[in-house]
Structure 1
Amino acid sequence: MTDELRPQDGYSSQSQPVNPELEATRELLPAYALGTTDPDETRMVKEMLTRFPHLIYELEVYQDMRRALTFSAPTVEIPGMAKSRILSGLLEATAPSVAQSAAPVRGSAPTPPPSGGLLDRLWRLLGGSPDTPAMLRLSPALAALAVVLLVASNLYWSGQIQQMREEQTLLIALASQQDTLLTLVGSGQVHRAELAATPDGTGVETVSVVWNPNAEIALLYAQELPPLASNEVYQVWFIRGDQPVSAGLLRVAEDGTGSLLLRSPEPVGNFDIVGITVEPSTGSELPTSAPIAAGELRA
């Protein structure tokens, strides 16, 4: 009959529990499937499995769940630099204990190689006792895994945040320059100058400057400027007579394009020429090289 409980399940025909050990074993099955029971609990479960074979089916359910959980976690690739630092740290931390354990002791028999699974060998390498319960043995491995994942996650998100900050800075700069250009154009007194390449400006293509004679700012836009060494930068100058005044440092992208909001201590219309030179990466108080491009500021 389907409603009748079988005596071998640990219940009488009146559905009263008659074997508390059976219920205790059922409670241990999840831990046994994970391998975290202590020696006494393990012996008890094995004994009860022989006495009550139907518990094997319940155990298989927990084992299937364990396997599913094991392979459900996504694989995380640790960045190369982080992986190198972690492995170097582990090698440095374990090198003394490994060397000490490998050194022969006078008058003592050679130490046999460690037995057991990979987790047991790792546990012994870390100085753990072989009598430590399995649950506690998992702690160092889980802690190490958590540290590795945390480092990888922090590095990933740190890179993402840095990239977002750089993009935000670029957008703010572009928005500021766009507002400046709109202000210059809206004033009705906007002028534009095309800078011509000089004999020292091989490879210079297009450099334009938009300015208002009465404003103390101007906007420069360049295309296909030759690439510079890492210790060099383009510097823009407003020139009146033979007196140059720095208007800012121009850094270009890999394709040679760049833009710069030029700043002047006085109205731009007071100057005669705008020019570009190649200077050290920190800039110069006065030009140290001949201009590669120059143009007249004609109102």
Structure 2
Amino acid sequence: QYQAISDQLLHSVPVVEPPAALAQQLAATLEADASRATDHGHGGIGRSISSASSPIPPNATRRTWALGARRFVKRSKFQIAAAAILALLVLTNILSFTQIRSLQTMQTRLWQQISSEQVTQQNMVQVILATYDTSSFEVAAQDGSTAHAYVEWCPQTYTVLVEAGDFPVLSPDMTYQLWLIRDGQRTSGGLFTVNSWGNGSLVMQLNEPLDDYDAIGITPEPAGGSNGPTAPPVVRKEF
């Protein structure tokens, strides 16, 4: 009974034609839904493949390669320049170190030679003084200090050996100078230096006996010596 009533109501409703615009809008909506469903079914792969398959400009690869090459060349030039500068600095340091070592070696050999010659000269003087009769005396300080000089000489050969002790240590630009005094005139007998203990020596070979002079004295002078004394004597003795 209910089925019959529902069928009767369905067929009793009049048929109405929809507007044309509504039909077009509905058709467009259905087409859009179908398109979205298709895209969703393929996922992003279809879009990626479509995008990736787009044609590449023919010059793009060459431009990319050229840009990379220029960057590589610039980077290589900078690295080569830095390496060259570093190598130059290392080479300069090596050469400087080698020159310093060479100069130090030469200086050591020179000092050894000088010391050897001084020792040889003193040994020869010692032989001479031991062979002949000699005279000796001590030259005392003038200011009451402990500085002194021991003088030994040979009247036959006029060879003189002076050994200084407890002398003040001088700066490198100063030296000690021995003076032989006669009639107020001072003649240089030679230069010598002292070590850190204030000890030094001087060998003189005179042309006349030492006691022909009136006095002997030793003063500090600029390196290289002076024409006459420029400072008070450290030690002095009148004959």
Q: Please report the TM-score for the alignment, with normalisation by the length of structure 2.
A: 0.58
Residue correspondence of structure 1 range 162-241 to structure 2 within 5 A: 162-186=107-131, 188-199=132-143, 202-241=144-183
Distance 1:181 1:223 in 2: 18
Contact 2:147/2:234 (<8 A) preserved: no
Contact 2:173/2:223 (<8 A) preserved: yes
Distance 2:81 2:229 in 1: 69
How far the C-alpha of 1:195 sits from its partner, in A, is 0.9
The structure that is strand-richer by fraction is 2
- Matched position secondary structure for 2:228: coil
2:212 corresponding residue in structure 1: 270
- Matched position secondary structure for 1:275: strand
CA distance 1:291–1:182, change in 2 (3 Å): same
CA distance 1:283–1:131, change in 2 (3 Å): closer
Q: When the two structures are aligned, how many residues end up with a matched partner?
A: 167
Q: CA RMSD in A?
A: 3.0
CA distance 1:137–1:263, change in 2 (3 Å): same
Mark the structure with the bigger radius of gyration: 2
Q: Please report the TM-score for the alignment, with normalisation by the length of structure 1.
A: 0.48
Instruction: Pick from 83, 86, 92 the counterpart of residue 147 of structure 1.
Output: 92
Task: Extract unaligned runs of 5+ from structure 2.
Answer: 1-72
Task: Extract unaligned runs of 5+ from structure 1.
Answer: 1-127
- Could you list the runs of 4 or more consecutive aligned residues of structure 1 that deviate by over 4 angstroms after TM superposition? 134-140
Which residue identity does 2:177 align to in structure 1?
Answer: Q
Overall identity of the aligned pairs, in %? 26
Distance 1:266 1:195 in 2: 20
